[in-house]
Amino acid sequence: MSTRRHIPQRTCVACRKVSAKQELVRLVRIADGSVEVDTSGKKAGRGAYLCRSRECWEIGLKSSRLEHVLRTTLTPDNHEQLIKHGEALPGQG
């Protein structure tokens, strides 16, 4: 008998598509209120997920969905940092 391994599912806050956790990028609100990209997926703090596509990053940042989900307000520097990370992603997700 083979056992199936559970694959955690998460939802992109921009497009609302459900995908495997490892296919999405986790953003985390850390103790000082700023938001960082969590490459390990294990940082402590409130998390939100976005697809690895430029469109989802733009939607998540422009519509303030990310701020709402993370329950914080992004500083201009923090917002710019996340935009730059999103620009490095491919166009379609």
pLDDT tens, the chain, 93 aa long: 678 899 999 999 999 999 999 999 999 999 999 999 998 989 999 999 999 999 999 999 998 899 999 999 999 999 999 999 988 888 755
Note whether residue 2 is domain-resident: no
Q: What's the total number of domains in the chain?
A: 1
Domain extent at residue 68: 9-87
CA distance 12 to 14: 5
The pLDDT value given to residue 91: 75
The pLDDT value given to residue 2: 72
Is residue 13 within 8 Å of residue 66, measured between CB atoms? yes
CA distance 14 to 32: 24
Residue type, 70: L
Report CA 44 to chain centroid distance, whole Å.
14
The pLDDT value given to residue 57: 93
The pLDDT value given to residue 64: 87
Note whether residue 1 is domain-resident: no
Note whether residue 92 is domain-resident: no
Note whether residue 3 is domain-resident: no
The pLDDT value given to residue 14: 95
What CATH number does the domain containing 74 carry? Answer: 3.30.1230.10
Note whether residue 31 is domain-resident: yes
Note whether residue 4 is domain-resident: no
